[in-house]
């Protein structure tokens, strides 16, 4: 197939709508008679509710209802999101808030106030009083204090919590060169610019429509159908545009079910838009982690032992163990591995995916440790990594579908000027500023999920794609229009993509950097089906130039099917359809085609790679750190659109810098309060703190994935924090193993 649209740095198809304010986000859908809901948070982390004082709230003008567990309609328990389910529910937890008197975390919504206007609802909510019976046992709020209760969970996502190969501890003890350290990362919270919003209304008793800022429409539908005992098809979930998600919107947090419940009670549409503070308390974030990485190498730098063990937290009401150890299972060769994850349960809001879950924090530990080992060996850190390139996946023992980490380092080192670097720490300064450079590998799996796509070709030469996938600002609508344009030989302006509605063909959640391959694969299959149908129509007619054609002889081009070896011989779709008296033709396909997928999945290890390079300036006296340069090179297959992919890389590096230097959720260990639950005190990245970020992708197709592509949404977060910590060490001679790298740690 000739590539025309795929790869082009096409502007986003929805860019104009967005910058002119016409793109409609959840909170903006005009619905008649909408009422507003505001949630009251618990102020203890564990205990029981004794009584509510709701009189003053009920008497506030405009108030329609004040719901507590005493008067809220009963709902049905829902299954927690389980990645081994074919179509998991989006529920983050098994708890049904407002259907229980138990308090499981500080900030749990306990009361819903519904009023005519938002101000009235807020005012009334501020008047609600709640008394509690604190739990007999103290709330568990500190992961490190609960260490003794840590356990090995049954699974970590869909994988084993432990991998042992050979005897890593013995090999470590025997290794001539080794390092053994503990790395910690703090809790982080989600702060997409669009907060989580839900708008719900009922038609009759059994028809529910929900507008929701979600990256997993069918998961929300499943959860709501379970919660309200409805047929799945009686629940419609719409999510037209999403203002950033980064994992937070992969789950339907408690306000989603509460909005539907409130709409039922007041008998009119209800909208709940979470204020920023509630985003910290009612939407899960990233768990803290404590990780041990011990590496033993021979004198040549070949790894003999790799130990990566540690601890994360989940809540008392969910089971998600963030998979920090996955990176170590695939990145470097070693005869001996000891990998183990443990979990503790805390009285906190259920934790969840956050951009590059697992690998985001796992690479901080592993790639810092690799740098430490390089110094212990007196070896260039890139050289160390190259010496430990595995021939096959070191723990799965199958070949990589495609792996070009070496090329990433080669190109990155050249662009960055790495080989001019004097490896000696504290070797460069400008006045009080110490200057250092660091590097790290990036790693993220190239997973796929499932999606269905319908394509409808019209006689006027336009095509409509439909799939209930999501547009979170990533560019899905744009790249899939490009993809379909190539598959069908149309120009991209002729392709329109409808998404974000459960009335459309089913798609899985858009997370884990899977959407591009998954939806892309389904588009490819649907288009193929369509082209085969078109050919069958043409073949019937002796008068058609395609009468004798085989599918493989043809290509889609110039709005029709043409012989590959004779560019002028063929027929346009308009001719084929007109002859049949058809206005249009449809095809629908699912990805992955089940059997083929299973076999490939087992035969290869699908991973993306990258090399991160950065320069930092550290103020010797005040400990301030500025990142002054960035070069990143990524290996994630064919790039569908240079512009949208580049934006993903830039955004990811930015989030990686935020994670390394600024972001951190503080927990008040007395009662689980989050003191810095605001954008003023929770420091997300700002433009003034960012350097010029240079990003490159190798663009080498993966022979075993649709279009040769991998997702590109998360890879560039990984390794970023380690590259910075490594550069800080190079600048100052001080190794920071505890994120974020704030000035006090460098004093």
Partner 1 sequence: MRAFTYTQATDASAALHAALQNPEAKYIGGGTNLVDLMREEVERPNEVIDINALPFSQIEVLPDGGVRLGALARNSHTANHPLVRQRYPVLAQAMLSAASPQLRNLATNAGNLLQRTRCYYFYDTTAPCNKRQPGSGCAAIHGVNRIHAILGTSEQCIATHPSDMAVALAALEAVVQVQGANGTRRIAMEEFHRLPGDHPEQDTTLGRDELITSIDLPALPSTANSLYFKVRERPSFAFALVSVAAVLELEGEQIKNVRLALGGVAHKPWRARTAEEALLGKPATAENFRQAAEAELQTAIAYEHNAFKIELAKRTIVRALLTLAERQLLA
Smaller CB separation from partner 1, 366 or 627: 627
Among positions 227-286, residues that touch partner 1 (CB under 8 A) are: 277
**What's the closest the beta carbon of residue 426 comes to partner 1, in angstroms?**
18
Rounded to the nearest whole angstrom, what is the least distance from the CB of residue 230 to partner 1 in the complex? 35
Contacts 24+ apart (CB under 8 A), 95-102: 95/317, 96/227, 96/257, 97/254, 97/258, 98/67, 98/68, 98/69, 98/72, 98/258, 98/261, 99/69, 99/72, 99/74, 99/75, 100/69, 101/48, 101/49, 101/69, 102/47, 102/48, 102/49
3-state secondary structure 128-174: CEEEEEECCCCCCCCCCCCHHHCECCCCECCECCEEEECCHHHHHHH
Closer to partner 1 by Cβ: residue 149 or 681: 681
Could you tell me the CA-to-CA distances from 374 to 215, 309, 543 in Å, in that order? 40, 21, 71
**What is the smallest separation between the CB atom of 192 and partner 1, expressed in angstroms?**
18
Which H or E run contains 83?
none
Spell 147-179 as b/e; 16+ CB within 10 A means b.
eeebeeeeebbeeebebebeebeebbeebebbb
- The answer for residues whose C-beta is within 8 angstroms of residue 199's C-beta and 6 or more apart is 26, 27, 29, 31, 34, 210, 211, 212, 259, 269, 270, 271
Closest approach, Cβ 683 to partner 1, in A, equals 5
Nearer to partner 1, 574 or 626 (CB): 626
For partner 1, the binding residues in 466-485 under the rule CB under 8 A are none
126 binding partner 1? (CB under 8 A): yes
Give the nearer residue to partner 1 in terms of CB position, either 53 or 675: 675
Q: In this complex, which beta carbon is closest to partner 1, that of residue 42 or of residue 439?
A: 42
Order of all β-strands in the sheet with 625-635: 429-430, 433-445, 607-619, 625-635, 693-697
Segment near partner 1 (CB under 8 A); pick from 208-216, 407-415, 524-532, 684-692? 684-692
689 contacts partner 1 (rule: CB under 8 A): yes
DSSP 3-state of 694: strand
Contact residue for partner 1 among 149, 582, 668, 703 (CB under 8 A): 668
747 binds partner 1 (CB under 8 A): yes
* Burial of 238 (C-beta count, 10 Å sphere; 0-12/13-18/19+): buried
Task: Compute the least distance from the CB of residue 106 to partner 1, in Å.
Answer: 9
Nearest distance in Å: CB 118, partner 1 = 9
| Of 532, 547, 686, 703, the one binding partner 1 by CB under 8 A | 686
The verdict on 557 binding partner 1 (CB under 8 A) reads no
Return the H-helix or E-strand segment holding 744.
Answer: none
Does position 662 interact with partner 1 (CB under 8 A)? The reply is: yes
Of residues 12, 41, 449, 456, which one binds partner 1 by CB under 8 A?
A: 41
Does the footprint of partner 1 cover residue 701 (CB under 8 A)? no
Residues 704-743 that bind partner 1 (CB under 8 A): 742-743
Instruction: Tell me how many residues contact partner 1 (CB under 8 A).
Output: 36
688 binds partner 1 (CB under 8 A): yes
Between 233 and 621, whose beta carbon lies closer to partner 1? 621
Task: Mark the segment that binds partner 1 (CB under 8 A) among 145-153, 411-419, 567-575, 671-679.
Answer: 671-679
| Whether residue 446 has a cis bond before it, omega within 30° of 0 | no
Rule CB under 8 A: is residue 692 a binding residue for partner 1? Answer: no
* Residue 56 in the binding site for partner 1 (CB under 8 A): no
Q: Which stretch binds partner 1 (CB under 8 A): 116-124, 283-291, 419-427, 528-536?
A: 116-124
When the beta carbons of 107 and 394 are compared against partner 1, the nearer one is 107
| Complete DSSP assignment for 349-375 | SPP---SSTTHHHHHHHHHHHHHHHHH
**Closest approach of partner 1 to the CB of residue 367, in Å:** 24
Query: 512: burial class by Cβ within 10 Å (0-12, 13-18, 19+)?
Result: buried
The token duo for 680 is 């003023």
Under 8 Å between Cβ of 434 and 618 = yes
Environment class of 572 (CB within 10 Å of its CB; exposed 0-12, middle 13-18, buried 19+): middle
Tell me if 53 contacts partner 1 by CB under 8 A: no
- For partner 1, give the closer residue by CB, 43 or 165: 43
Question: Does 623 sit near partner 1 (CB under 8 A)?
Answer: yes
Per CB under 8 A, the segment of 6-14, 210-218, 247-255, 670-678 that binds partner 1 is 670-678
Q: Which is nearer to partner 1, 38 or 587 (CB)?
A: 38
Interface mask (CB under 8 A) for partner 1, residues 382-421, using x and -? ----------------------------------------
**Residue given tokens 């990142």 in the structure block:** 627
* CB-nearer residue toward partner 1: 280 or 320: 280
* Angular region, 597: left φ>0, alpha ψ -120 to 50, beta rest: alpha
28: nearest Cα among 339, 241, 327: 241
Binding range to partner 1, per CB under 8 A, among 244-252, 253-261, 669-677, 707-715: 669-677
- Per-residue CA distances from 618 to 25, 437, 658, 659 (Å): 41, 11, 16, 17
Helix (H) or strand (E) segment spanning residue 48: strand 47-53
- Tell me: does residue 670 bind partner 1 (CB under 8 A): yes
Is-cis flag, bond preceding 43, omega within 30? no
The answer to whether 343 and 154 have CB atoms below 8 angstroms apart is: no
Binder among 676, 700, 701, 735 for partner 1 (CB under 8 A): 676
Q: Does 661 bind partner 1 (CB under 8 A)?
A: yes
- Local structure of 85: helix, strand or coil: coil
CA distances for 285 relative to 191, 631, 657, angstroms: 9, 28, 17
Q: List the structure tokens of 255.
A: 């306000």
Which residue number, 421 or 673, has a Cβ lying nearer to partner 1? 673
Pick the binder of partner 1 from 9, 622, 703, 733 (CB under 8 A): 622
Using CB under 8 A, pick the residue from 4, 268, 564, 666 that binds partner 1.
666
* 425 binding partner 1? (CB under 8 A): no
Query: Which is the catalytic residue, given 524, 555, 664, 714?
Result: 714
CB of 666 to partner 1, least distance (A): 5
Decide: is 123 part of the binding site for partner 1 (CB under 8 A). yes
Task: Using CB under 8 A, pick the residue from 77, 267, 423, 432 that binds partner 1.
Answer: 432
Side-chain-side CA neighbours of 399 within 13 Å: the count stands at 8
Q: With CB under 8 A as the contact rule, which of the stretches 145-153, 465-473, 585-593, 672-680 interacts with partner 1?
A: 672-680
Does residue 714 have an active-site annotation? yes
CA distance 487 to 490: 8
Let me know: does 286 contact 322? Beta carbons within 8 Å: yes
Task: Give whichever of 167 and 742 is closer to partner 1, judged by the CB atom.
Answer: 742
Residue from 58, 87, 102, 122 in contact with partner 1 (CB under 8 A): 122
- Share in percent of the chain as helix, strand, coil (round to 5): 30, 25, 45
Per DSSP, what are the bridge partners of residue 273?
197
683 lies in the site for partner 1, by CB under 8 A: yes
Q: Binding to partner 1 by residue 83, rule CB under 8 A?
A: no
Based on the shown chain and the rule CB under 8 A, indicate whether residue 621 belongs to the binding site for partner 1: yes
Which of 624, 642, 694, 738: binder of partner 1 (CB under 8 A)?
Answer: 624
Q: Cα separation of 214 and 198, whole Å?
A: 9
Read out DSSP for 625-682? EEEEEEEEEEE-B--SBHHHHHHHHHHHHHHHHHHHHT------TTT---TT-STTTS
Site of interaction with partner 1 (CB under 8 A): 41, 43, 119, 122-123, 126, 277, 432, 621-624, 626, 661-662, 666-668, 670, 673, 675-678, 680-681, 683, 685-689, 742-744, 747
- Residues involved in catalysis: 714
């Amino acid at each position: 197939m000739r590539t025309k649209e795929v790869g082009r740095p096409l502007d986003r198809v929805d860019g104009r709508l967005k910058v002119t304010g016409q793109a409609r986000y959840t909170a903006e859908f005009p619905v008649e008679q909408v009422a507003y809901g505001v949630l009251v948070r618990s102020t203890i982390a564990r205990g029981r509710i004794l009584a509510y004082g709701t009189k003053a709230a009920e008497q506030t003008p405009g108030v329609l209802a004040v719901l507590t567990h005493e008067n809220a309609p009963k709902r049905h328990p829902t299954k927690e999101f389980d990645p081994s389910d074919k179509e998991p529910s989006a529920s983050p937890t098994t708890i049904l808030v407002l259907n229980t008197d138990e308090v499981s975390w500080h900030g749990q919504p306990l009361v819903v106030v519904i009023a005519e206007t938002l101000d009235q609802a807020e005012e009334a909510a501020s008047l609600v009083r709640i008394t509690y019976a604190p739990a007999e046992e103290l709330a568990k709020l500190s992961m490190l204090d609960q260490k003794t209760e840590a356990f090995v969970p049954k699974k970590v996502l869909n994988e084993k919590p432990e991998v042992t190969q050979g005897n890593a501890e013995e090999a470590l003890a025997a290794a001539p060169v080794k390092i053994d350290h503990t790395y910690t990362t703090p809790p982080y919270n989600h702060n997409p610019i669009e907060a989580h919003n839900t708008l719900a209304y009922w038609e009759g008793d059994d028809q529910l429509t929900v507008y929701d800022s979600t990256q997993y429409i069918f998961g929300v539908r499943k959860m709501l159908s379970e919660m309200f005992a409805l047929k799945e098809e009686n629940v419609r979930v719409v999510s037209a545009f999403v203002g950033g998600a980064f994992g937070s919107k992969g789950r339907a947090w408690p306000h989603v079910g509460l909005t539907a419940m409130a709409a039922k009670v007041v008998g009119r549409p209800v909208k709940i838009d979470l204020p920023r503070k509630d985003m910290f308390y009612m939407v899960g974030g990233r768990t803290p982690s404590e990780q041990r990485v011990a590496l033993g190498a021979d004198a040549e730098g070949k790894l003999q032992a790799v130990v990566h063990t540690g601890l994360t937290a989940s809540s008392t009401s969910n089971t998600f163990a963030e998979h920090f150890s996955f990176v170590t299972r695939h990145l470097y060769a070693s005869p001996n591995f000891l990998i183990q994850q443990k979990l503790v349960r805390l009285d906190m809001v259920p934790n969840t995916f956050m951009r590059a879950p697992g690998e985001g924090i796992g690479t901080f530990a592993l790639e810092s440790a690799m740098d430490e080992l390089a110094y212990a060996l007196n070896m260039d850190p890139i050289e160390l990594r190259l010496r430990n390139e595995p021939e096959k996946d070191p723990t799965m023992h199958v070949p990589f579908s495609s792996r070009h980490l070496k090329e990433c380092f080669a190109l990155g080192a050249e662009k960055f000027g790495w080989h001019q670097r004097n490896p000696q720490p504290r070797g460069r300064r400008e006045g009080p500023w110490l200057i250092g450079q660091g590097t790290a590998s990036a790693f993220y799996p190239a997973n796929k999920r499932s999606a269905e796509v319908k394509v409808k070709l019209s006689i006027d030469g336009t095509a409509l794609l439909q799939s209930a996938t999501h547009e979170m600002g990533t560019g899905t609508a744009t790249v899939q229009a490009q993809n379909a344009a190539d598959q069908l030989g149309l120009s991209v302006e002729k392709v329109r993509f409808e998404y974000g509605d459960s009335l459309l063909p089913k798609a899985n959640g858009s997370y884990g950097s899977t959407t591009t391959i998954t939806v892309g694969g389904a588009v490819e299959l649907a288009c193929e089906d369509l082209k085969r149908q078109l050919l069958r129509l043409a073949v019937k007619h002796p008068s058609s130039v395609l009468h004798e054609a085989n599918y493989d002889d043809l290509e889609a081009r110039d709005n029709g099917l043409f012989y590959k070896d004779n560019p002028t011989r063929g027929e346009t779709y308009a001719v084929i359809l007109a002859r049949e008296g058809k206005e249009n033709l449809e095809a629908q396909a699912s990805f992955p085609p089940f059997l083929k997928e299973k076999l490939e999945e087992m035969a290869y290890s699908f991973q993306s790679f990258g090399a991160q390079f950065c320069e930092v300036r550290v103020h010797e006296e005040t400990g301030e750190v500025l990142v002054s340069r960035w070069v990143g090179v990524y290996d994630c297959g064919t790039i569908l659109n240079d512009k949208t992919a580049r934006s993903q890389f830039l955004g990811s590096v930015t989030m990686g810098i935020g994670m390394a230097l600024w972001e951190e959720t503080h927990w008040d260990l007395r009662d689980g309060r989050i003191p810095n639950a605001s954008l003023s005190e929770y420091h997300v990245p700002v433009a003034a703190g960012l350097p010029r970020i240079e990003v490159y992708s190798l663009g080498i197709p993966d022979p075993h994935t649709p279009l040769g592509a991998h997702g590109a949404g998360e890879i560039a977060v990984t390794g970023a924090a380690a590259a910075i910590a490594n550069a800080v060490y190079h600048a100052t001679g001080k190794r920071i193993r505890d994120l974020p790298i704030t000035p006090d740690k460098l004093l």
